[in-house]
A and B are shown apart, each in its own frame.
Chain A
Amino acid sequence: MKMLTRDSQPLIKRLLPLLLLPLCVFFSSCFQLIEEITVNTDGSGNLALTANLSQSRSKLASVMLLDSVNGHKVPSKAEIRKEMEEVARTLRSVKGIKNVTHTADFDNYIFTVRFSFADVGNLNDITALIFDKLDVPMIDNSSYSYLPGGKAFIRNYMPDPRAKSEYQQLKEVDKAVFENATYTSIYRFDRTVAAQSNSRAKIAASKKAVMLQCGVRDLIEGKANISNHIQLAQ
């Protein structure tokens, strides 16, 4: 994976206003991130990313009326839409990516991006590109791979120590935003899963899906490991 070293604002500080996260003074708030990947035998598949902020809907509705909160600029609906269109445009330009769609539901504050990929390896290119687009520096700490012959799907994740350090430097009011936020990953296959290596993850009754849930704060602080080696039946 290419190494992006563009270093300007810290990662979390850049993501904060984008995700509309600086919500309120000292009250906690909630959001859910869901990553759902379906992998076919030939390594192609679909990905859906969902950011559900509806639990903080009324606060966001108030925040959207302001120019800034806790010193972070609040993007307008138009700016958020534009940013999402920009992400979609970038995705379309990646070789192997097609059927890119996105939605922005400002009644419930739910945002989704979906697309198909020709090869699991495309996901690594996309991650790098999106981080680059957001001007977020990235190190080689996350990757997806699919072993030849469809033997296994491997999700590698190493916590970024910079993310933890930046999180710790955040003001308490901003940290509170992450307190009850959750991350969910669902990986689906057209064959059954023989085994998986992450103790947090569970295999579905059909044996064709693996789900993992953890707190976003644990993810940032490196307390949650989301790496997984999923062995598929041959």
Chain B
Amino acid sequence: MNRFFQTITALFLVLSVSAQDLAHKIPNDAFAVVNIRTDHFFKLMSVDDFDRSNIGKIIIEKSRQADLQEVNSIADFGIALDRPGYFYATLSDSIVYLSFLLPIADVEKVEAHFAKGETVSSHGKFRSFTKAATGDSVIFAWDETMLSITTPSLVDGYFLQDDVAERYGIRNYSYADYYNQPVDEEATDWGSVEWWADSVYADTAAWDEVAAVADSVYAEADSVAYEYDDYNDATLLGENQDEENLYDTYYAADQEIKRKLANEWGEAFVESQFNSVPVASVLTNRSYLSSVSKDALATLWIPSFEAIYTALLPELLDFGESGDLFSYYGSLQVGLFADKEGFKLRSQMELEDSMAKTFKRIYGRKLNRKFLKYINVDEAIGLFALSMDTRAYLEELPGLLKNTYANLFEQYKDDISLGADLVSLLLDEAAIAKTAKGDALFVLNGLAEQEVPYISYEYDEDYNYTEVEATKVETIPDFLLMFSSDDVSLYNRIMTYTTRKGYVTEDDGVYRLSQEDLPFELVFTRKNGVVFVGTSVEQLASIVAGSYQGKVDRQTRRLLTKNKFAGLLSARKLSKEVPTEQLVSLDRYIAFQKIFGSMGDFYFKSDGVKGNHISAEFVARTPQGYDNAIQYLFGLVDYALDQR
């Protein structure tokens, strides 16, 4: 049952009677903090609406199945829904604490639901119980205002260190230890086994001789029960038939010591949550404060990007002696928003000065505005724009390689550094940048229908068959890719060469590449410093003739030109483009149109580096007819569940 409540709390982490923000309980040096704004969530969707949604009904139904008859609403769990909850992690060399802090609205309800059937201990200011979960235990503790759900988890590597293990009486007994133990205890003449290495392989003895000796050794081994099959059979272990399997015994003893340590430390940690406040709480951290937004549904703050790697993959530290793995990156902030426009996922990462300078150089180019003339927003299903400076990228690349990989693979530091410099030496950055300056725009104009031939058979009256060419209609993508290029002579030389060789054909400046291996024809042209690669001969011909009529709205223009990366996809337009016959059944057609036909646009953007931050945003726009993104999402979920 508690697993169920953990899931609910993780989803809807709610609030308390206390007016105080629970963030003041979170220490300044927390590894990660998630601020879950249930208050904002329930502003966008009322508790009543939530209860009436399919998700709300499922939660209430599951609660009743869990014998909680008095639960009729999400509000009945006793967790306050009008203030934020938190999840945070604190790390040390020996233990990780993962903790939810939830504000309480009605402590009696919390106790009735969360502590039902548990052995609750009272600790003065607060009460608690410990629930064994898979692997680690979970400590539930609460007072009148706050519920803490904490999982302490020991760091295994720490307890493998000899001095640490000795301090806590941990044996770290391994299978190898077990395997060798009887040798010492029985004082078997194990030297007779060493001939495997010494006399047989080293002396390259005849194979017959080896077999004979091997047999004799096995006979000796049997006497002290070294056969693998006997490993788990305690009765065969040595002379003492009652001797237990040492590995299992020692392992269980180690685990018991660790379990007690985790519980003891976990309880102390939880006690500190209720009985004291951190010397410096996370509320004193400016970086954290800047990540918090009252309009967000949830925000995640990780003070050090590097810490993600070192915490999750501590082995990486062994590679880099310098300890500078990703030290060029600072804090990471992610926020999930839901407003009238839609769902927004915003992320921002702090960069060290030199890295910020590098990225500023790389993203120093703006999108060629000539591209915009060749977009028709009424037709385009998707757009993707990139604006970077090829020359700056190539010049900065060796440094980036050295900074990241040379530190990660310390033993190859010199090789990587030399390799990076050689690449730099071999590349003519200026020439490459002249060919492709670094800005590009990809436009998915639609899915075109194309008649394609295939081989079928015709049967005569005697059933002799002959191959005939038939045709069928297939859907192929209709796209246009544009990139800026100043190197007209190289373009001309390539086109002249490929035309002469018969790879392409030219018609009024439009080159066509038809190849059996390609599902569609590719066409190329170049005009005013822009190279065009597309699938529509007509479109490229009109571009060359100067008769192409594009159309771009202000919103799309801003999205593409004000950002370094930007993309846009219209699910609604895409759903209209997919030919009906491709959606084999009517059911599939209806479901497809219902889900995708009403979806809003998706877009993502990154405006590159501002100050010392690089940021990105992904947005799923709310379609017309919904007040906000939450209501739209729940509408979609309701629809999907109703279709089951």
Contact = CB atoms under 8 A, between A and B. Distances in A.
Interface in A163-180: 176, 179
Interface string B452-471: 10111101011101000010
B474 A58 contact: yes
Interface string A76-93: 000000000000000000
B174 to A, nearest CB: 36
Contacts of B474: 58-59
Nearest to B582: A27
A4 interface: no
Interface string B562-587: 00000000000000000000111000
A208 B461 CA distance: 11
Nearest to A60: B519
A17 to B, nearest CB: 20
A36 to B, nearest CB: 8
Contact of A211 (B456, B463, B475, B583): B463
Contacts of A204: 461-463
B456 A209 contact: no
Interface stretch (A49-57, A122-130, A147-155, A224-232): A49-57
Contacts of A188: 463
B170 to A, nearest CB: 44
B518 interface: yes
A52 B584 contact: no
Interface in B610-637: none
Contacts of A176: 584
Nearest to A24: B582
B462 A206 contact: yes
Nearest to B518: A61
A7 interface: no
Given A28-B584, A55-B454, A179-B584, A107 B459 contact: no
Contacts of B457: 32, 34, 52
A87 B112 CA distance: 71
A20 interface: no
Contacts of A209: 462-463
Contacts of A216: none
A15 interface: no
Given A32-B457, A52-B455, A55-B456, A205 B462 contact: yes
B476 to A, nearest CB: 8
B198 interface: no
Contacts of A54: 454-456
A34 B455 CA distance: 13
Contacts of B475: 27
A204 B583 CA distance: 37
B582 to A, nearest CB: 5
B455 A110 contact: yes
Interface residues of A, number: 28
B519 A62 contact: yes
Contacts of B208: none
Would you call the interface of chain A mostly helix, strand, loop, or mixed? Answer: mixed
Nearest to A28: B584
B475 to A, nearest CB: 8
Contacts of B588: 26
B516 interface: yes
B642 interface: no
B454 A61 contact: no
Contacts of A26: 582-584, 588
B508 interface: no
Contacts of B517: 61, 64-65
Contacts of A59: 474, 519
B472 interface: yes
A27 B589 CA distance: 12
Contacts of B459: 211
A108 interface: yes
A108 B462 contact: no
Interface string A181-213: 000001010000000000000001110110100
Nearest to B579: A27
Contacts of A58: 452, 474, 476, 519-520
A63 B465 CA distance: 29
B516 A61 contact: yes
Contacts of B462: 204-206, 208-209
A62 B474 CA distance: 13
B452 A57 contact: yes
Contacts of B452: 57-58
Contacts of A206: 461-462
A29 to B, nearest CB: 10
Given A28-B584, A55-B454, A34 B463 contact: no
Contact of B519 (A61, A107, A208): A61
A79 to B, nearest CB: 17
Contacts of B456: 32, 52, 54-55
Given A27-B582, A57-B454, A205 B461 contact: yes
Interface string A25-46: 0111000101000000000000
Interface of A: 26-28, 32, 34, 52, 54-55, 57-59, 61-62, 64-65, 107-108, 110, 176, 179, 186, 188, 204-206, 208-209, 211
The 6 closest A-B pairs by CB, nearest first: A205-B461, A58-B519, A54-B454, A54-B455, A209-B463, A55-B454
Given A61-B517, A61-B518, 15 more contacts: A26-B584, A27-B475, A28-B582, A32-B457, A52-B457, A54-B454, A57-B454, A58-B474, A62-B519, A108-B454, A186-B463, A188-B463, A205-B462, A209-B463, A211-B463
21 contacts: A27-B582, A32-B457, A52-B456, A52-B457, A55-B470, A57-B452, A57-B454, A58-B519, A58-B520, A59-B474, A61-B516, A61-B517, A61-B518, A61-B519, A108-B454, A108-B455, A186-B465, A188-B463, A204-B462, A205-B462, A211-B463
